[in-house]
Amino acid sequence: MAKKQHAVALFTDSTSSIPADLVEQYNIEIVPLHVIWGQEDMLDVVEITSQQFYDRLINDPVRPMTSQPNASQFAEAIEKAAGSGAKEAVVITISTELSQTYASAMQSVDMVDIPVHVCDSKSCGMGMGWQVVAAARAREQGGDSAAMLAAIEKTRQQMVLELTVDTLECLHKGGRIGGAAMLVGTALNLKPRLYVNHRTGRIEPGEKTRTRKKAIDSVYKAFFDALDTSKPMHIAVHHAMDEKTAEEIATRIRKDYNPQELLIVDLPPVVGVHVGPGTVGLAGYCEA
């Protein structure tokens, strides 16, 4: 079935982790980042799946790296949309504190013939993905680019993203640890609660714990303490090769809060490079 054409094309990058059915439903265009593994340069999700990535990560002594899309990747995607009738484009990228993807998107603005609005999500994973979906839903309701940008901003202001990693080593080696760098050193054995500061776009440290169970409980409590649970909530449970734990958390959420929307999201390879297997987290917002 042919994709529905919109006057405003909507783009994001592959770190958004939006489930494929929502990508298809809302005609969201995904520009992939790159996973660099030795001499191989693979497009995130397109040329290496999450399962392939984590299977290889366990056994391959070579450490993978990541790279942002180049400006021409964005420009080609936008020009293709323009060729199909788009008059404008909205692009939402991973936080500038975590990647140079925003810079590449900005460079593409002068390479295309339609107006392009580029937004820094100040987030990653479904912390960004929910902003993209909000923009898509505003568009479905007849909104123009201004309405989509307003929906992005409103959602970001309500956004909460809490996570715990099995080890800080991947974040540390990848240089994406932000304010949580203070935990590195003799503390690599910690199972800390981390969160994304949606004003700065940085990963910051939360409570320090020494067991995975305590870390997950800390993430859960901090996440729901930050939301007005009396309002409709949209929540995603993130995981990196730990679907069992994600399912358990989702079951707990349904029982405790019965949110309006609840997703379980497998983090893509390019995110997995930096957080490592065993990562679990919550990203979501309440309607204002």
Beta strands in 19-64 (DSSP E): 28-31, 34-37, 40-43
- What pLDDT does residue 12 have? 98
Instruction: Select from 77, 65, 134, 143 the least CA-distant residue to 105.
Output: 77
Contact between residue 98 and residue 203 where contact means Cβ atoms under 8 Å apart: yes
Fold of 8-33+68-157: Rossmann fold (3.40.50)
- What pLDDT is stored for residue 1 in this prediction? 47
Give the predicted TM-score (pTM) of the model: 0.93
Residue ranges of the chain assigned to CATH 3.40.50.10170: 8-33+68-157
Nearest-angstrom CA–CA distance, 44 and 274: 13
Q: What whole-number distance in Å separates Cα of residue 98 and Cα of residue 270?
A: 12
Looking at the structure, give the CATH architecture of the domain made up of residues 159-286.
Answer: 2-Layer Sandwich (3.30)
Rounded mean pLDDT for each run of 10 residues along the chain, 288 residues in total: 80 97 97 96 95 90 94 98 97 96 98 98 98 98 98 98 82 52 52 92 87 94 97 97 96 98 96 90 95
In the chain, CATH 3.30.1180.10 sits at 159-286
Q: What is the pLDDT of residue 209?
A: 86
- Is the Cβ–Cβ distance between 165 and 133 less than 8 Å? no
Give me the pLDDT at residue 185, please: 45
What pLDDT, on a 0 to 100 scale, did the predictor assign at position 21?
A: 97
Q: Output the pLDDT for position 133.
A: 98
Report helix, strand or coil for 36: strand
Beta strands in the chain (DSSP E): 8-13, 28-31, 34-37, 40-43, 65-67, 88-93, 116-120, 160-164, 193-197, 202-205, 233-239, 261-266, 280-286
> Which single residue is written with the structure tokens 């497998």?
266
